[in-house]
Structure formats: structure tokens, C-alpha cells
Amino acid sequence: MSSDSRAADAPRDLRERSLRIAGRILEIAGIAAPGAGASLARTALDDGRAWHKLQAIAEAQGGLRTPCVARYRHEVTAAHGGVVFGIDNRRLSRIAKLAGAPQAPAAGLDLHVQLGATVEKGQPLYSIHAQSRGELQYALDYATAQHDVIALGVPA
């Protein structure tokens, strides 16, 4: 996959936020004039320089590796439809820890929704990943008791 297609596959809001942050860093570092950092960052991302730099940094730290995959996984789905108006990161973090993160490299969560998203009943909200059946059960027991980790409201 080319660097251009990787950048194009990024969610638009993540891409724009990342470019603003990178741009500000370039401005603070004196690499870009005030107000010109985001444009410089966008050019470096789009022409592949940013991807090549990331590869060099990763290589210096042992190379890019494919993340391991947890043996046990479970999707937590919406009990009803609505609009996501809240995500409790502290309780999500607790669920991830009960699943074995960060000690188990493959343990943790995948978040499938973001604030403002409209979801339907049964739609996956997040997935729990664990290395053992017991850790997955600990995480599921806690997650089941936490009905509003992902808070859904009535669509406007």
C-alpha cells in the first residue's frame, strides 16, 4: 500500500487534527513560519516523506511489526439505537485492564463508534480482546454491569 493511500484511508477528522498538531509543532520548532505549519505537514504527508520518516524511526526501534492478535474477542453491541453523546474513557480503560492490557500485548479494546455517531440496536460499539478466557470473562462481567460506557441518546 502506498503512503498516499494510507493517508487517504485515515478518518478525515483524525487526519485534519493530526495535521494541525504537526503543523503547530513545525511552527514552534521554527521549521515553518507562523500559520504555514499545517500546509507543510500536509505536503510531507501527501508526498510520502512523513511515511518514510516513520519507517526510519520504526527501523531504529526494531522495525515495523504486525501486532499480535488476541485469542479471545467479544463485541459489545448497542442495546438500543441512538446517537453517541458520551464515551467513558475511564471505564473503557478498566475493561481493557481486566482483559489483560497492557501486560498482554494483544489485550485491549477496539472502539467502533465516535461521539455524534448514530448507531442502531445490535451495532458493535467496541470489541474486547484478551489472551485468556478468564481475562475476557472478567472484562465482560465488568462491561455488562456498565450500561452507559458508551452513552446513547435519542436521535435529534
* Rounded distance between C-alpha atoms, residue 104 and residue 139, angstroms: 14
pLDDT tens per residue across span 91-106: 999 999 999 999 999 9
* Rounded distance between C-alpha atoms, residue 14 and residue 6, angstroms: 13
Give the start-to-end residue ranges of the domains of the chain: 3-60, 72-153
Cα-only R_g, the chain: 19
pLDDT tens per residue across span 127-140: 999 999 999 999 99
pTM value surpassing 0.85: no
Fold of 72-153: Aldehyde Oxidoreductase; domain 3 (3.90.1170)
